[in-house]
Amino acid sequence: MEPVTEGIGNNGRMSMAINGGGLRLMAVHAHPDDESSKGAATMARYVHEGADVLVVTCTGGEAGTVLNPALDRPDVHERLVELRRAEMGEARRILGVQQVWLGFRDSGLPEGDPLPPLPEGCFALTPLADAARPLVRLMREFQPQVVVTYDENGGYPHPDHIMNHKITIEAFEAAGDPGLYREVGQDIGVAPWQPLKLYYHQTFHKERMLALHDAMQASGRESPYAAMLEKWVDRSDDSGRITTRVPCGDFFETRDRALLAHATQVDPNGPWFRVPLEIQRKAWPTEDYQLARSLIEVGMLPEDDLFDGIR
């Protein structure tokens, strides 16, 4: 399987690869729209600062549905795959990133009791080595110092998010080892490359939601997080996961425009957009991460930069 590269300066090869001493960030996501709901302001900030940012989209979102009531029409459902690809293109343009489709088939989110089997040939059922191989190739070609993905729970337990985690771990560990995936990249003359730091998104955590909830109530507004917090179940492994808080409040508007570009997936009147940006910037001006693996020495935690120790 050959990844399909799109975006800035696309000429059939990755225009931002192997560019000397520049900073390079790779963000691996399961579906189109995930890149805009997780870490988008961080990516926009680093693009603004001159870093090269590559979004890897593992599937086309084929098994998704229309989540915007205004677009819940038969003609939209019939063209959903085409529309989601176009939406990804617009979000990519807004964020200023380069983007690659790995080309795997969306597994869907199984529902019911018992859960139905996943569809044959989907991303989550692909053998690990087959699913990781194109990502190993991309890491060797793009040469990121930093890679960002989901934690072992996928952020939430969608089969594609969990598989996304697995292939990123596999590729991170294998891309720099000449004894693994030996043939990968030889056709384009790229050598093994070892990324230095691996992060997990920690976007939807209780501390942030409480801060935004309290700020909304203090301003006399209704909080969109009230019901969610009432039902929140703490996980025993949540405490202390955040190691890195990236200040990026100046790019929250860019993040929201990128998310709104995924019009079939996002209700512009939904809870995503009910907290004014000025309140968000004051109450929680960062996007948050867990440093899961580092091959270099880092400074004191928490960090405020994914490239800490690399700059």
Q: Summarize pLDDT for 81-112 with one digit per residue, the tens.
A: 999 999 999 999 999 999 999 999 999 998 88
Q: Of 4-13, 52-61, 138-147, 293-302, which gets the smallest average pLDDT?
A: 4-13
Q: Is the pLDDT of residue 14 over 70?
A: no
pLDDT at 8: 43
**pLDDT confidence band for 154 (50 / 70 / 90):** confident
pLDDT at 5: 65
31: phi then psi, degrees, rounded to nearest 5: -135, 155
pLDDT at 6: 65
pLDDT at 272: 87
Residue 250: Cβ within 10 Å count: 14
* 64 and 265 Cβ atoms separated by less than 8 Å: yes
CA quadruple 72, 77, 80, 83: dihedral sign: negative
Rounded to an integer, what distance in angstroms lies between the CA atom of residue 55 and that of residue 289?
A: 17
Torsion of CA 222, 268, 155, 59, to 10 degrees: 170
Eight-class DSSP state of 48 = H
Burial track 27-53 (b if 16+ CB lie within 10 A, e otherwise): bbbbbbbbbbbbbbbbbbbbbeeebbb
pLDDT at 299: 83
pLDDT at 232: 87
* 159 and 118 Cβ atoms separated by less than 8 Å: yes
Q: Which two tokens stand for residue 294?
A: 């580092």
pLDDT at 46: 98
Q: Which two tokens stand for residue 196?
A: 């230095």
pLDDT at 231: 87
Q: What is the pTM of this model?
A: 0.93
Residue 284: Cβ within 10 Å count: 20
Question: Span 4-201: which CATH code?
Answer: 3.40.50.10320
pLDDT at 11: 36
Q: What is the mean pLDDT of residues 106-134?
A: 93
Nearest Cα residue to 39 out of 146, 144, 149? 149
Rounded to an integer, what distance in angstroms lies between the CA atom of residue 299 and that of residue 308?
A: 7
Q: What is the mean pLDDT of residues 56-73?
A: 95
Strands 286-294, 98-104: pairing kind: unpaired
pLDDT at 234: 81
pLDDT at 17: 45
Rounded to an integer, what distance in angstroms lies between the CA atom of residue 244 and that of residue 265?
A: 29
Alpha-carbon 224 to chain mean position = 23
For 53, the 3-state DSSP assignment is strand
Rounded to an integer, what distance in angstroms lies between the CA atom of residue 246 and that of residue 49?
A: 13
Q: Which two tokens stand for residue 33?
A: 């729209």
Alpha-carbon 222 to chain mean position = 29
When comparing pLDDT for 165 and 231, which is higher?
165
Q: What is the mean pLDDT of residues 156-168?
A: 94
Residue 234: Cβ within 10 Å count: 8
**pLDDT confidence band for 21 (50 / 70 / 90):** low
What does the mean pLDDT of the chain come to? Answer: 92
Q: Which two tokens stand for residue 108?
A: 């869907």
> What residue ranges do the domains of the chain occupy?
4-201
Tens digits of per-residue pLDDT, 230-289? 888 887 566 579 999 999 999 999 999 999 999 999 999 998 899 999 999 999 999 999
